[in-house]
Amino acid sequence: MDSSGVSSDRTFVGIDIAKATFDVARLPQSQHHAFAYDAEGIERTVALLQSWGTCLVVLEATGGLERRLAAELVAAAIPVAIVNPRQVRDFARGLGLLAKTDAIDAGVLARFAQVVQPVPSSKTSEKQAELQELVTRRQQLVGLRVMESNRQTTVMGQAARRSIMKVLRTLDREIDAVDAAISRLIESSDDWKRKAEIIDSVPGCSKITSHRILGNLPELGNLNRAEIASLAGLAPFNHDSGKFQGKRAIWGGRAAARCALYMAALTARRCNAQIRRFAQRLEAKGKTFKVVITACMRKLLVILNALVKHNVLWESQEIT
């Protein structure tokens, strides 16, 4: 152990990824390397990390750029944690590091690995990765469709309107094709098929809900209620100081899963008796809509987690 209480026989690595290159920083040895982000660069990096012995690698979640490298590291049995960029930026500010370059960012990630020591990610199966990509692609297509639909109200000319309608029809076909691909993928797995059946059985949830949750929360049913809520970013954080008691707020987590739960909770408030009663109790206490719907999202997620964990369909009794 060194003076900071961190084990000195372990290597901590931060990797800052760009489209064409990535920088690798190593602590406590204070080494820096840069590689092209291609097959050769990844191969050289894996060999280098393996030569360093026991190490923990930290990458930022950068909209998918990190997935290829992370998958190769996990396949090589190198522990790698993918962390929230905002958490790393706050960590850097706390250290007084305001300058920003690829090399500096890699060093910050290595320091973050050394001090925080986040839990490494587990290996994601090829099918899970494919499902997540399809679910993400569907969200992208739906977003494009919303933008095109909004443009309909701003155009007057027939030619422009026809163009928009043509794009909308194309997007509809693509969304249907992606939906079919997701359904086929889920049907190919007995585990996914059963989980989807359980989620679909809950009033307020739909086939789209189950697809998005299976794609973005594969841990559903394997964690306790607090852990699954935290993973989805639905765990409230305190904001108190002395006698001051601030509003609780949610932070971080998986936004895509949270969006799916938001839409499901809106429906569940109307057609799910358990969620409706829960929402009414909060409203009677004077809670705002935002607080009520967030609590309903968490309640719904906890119910889904319990049902999947116990492998049972929705029933009328209370699920806690």
HEC sequence for 264-288:
HHHHHHHHCHHHHHHHHHHHHCCCC
- The fourth-level CATH superfamily of domain 11-116 is ATPase, nucleotide binding domain (3.30.420.40)
pLDDT at 99: 79
Q: b/e for 47-61, b at 16 or more Cβ within 10 A?
A: eebeeeeebbbbbbb
Beta bridge partners of 60: 83
pLDDT at 75: 85
- Contact at 8 Å (CB) between 310 and 225? no
**Cis amide leading into 79 (omega within 30):** no
Distances (CA, A) of 178 to 15, 137, 173: 33, 8, 9
- Contact at 8 Å (CB) between 228 and 302? yes
Nearest-angstrom CA–CA distance, 37 and 19: 7
**Which tokens belong to 131?**
């499902």
Contacts of 212 by beta carbon, 8 Å cutoff, 6+ apart: 135, 139, 256, 257, 259, 260
The domain spans of the chain are 11-116, 125-188, 190-320
Q: Which residue has the tokens 């204070």?
A: 30
**Which tokens belong to 108?**
């910050």
- Asked whether the whole model's pTM tops 0.95, one would answer no
Residue ranges of the chain whose pLDDT lies below 70: 1-8, 123-124, 236-252, 316-320
3-state helix, strand, coil in the chain (%, to 5): 60, 10, 30
The 10 Å Cβ neighbour count of residue 301 is: 25
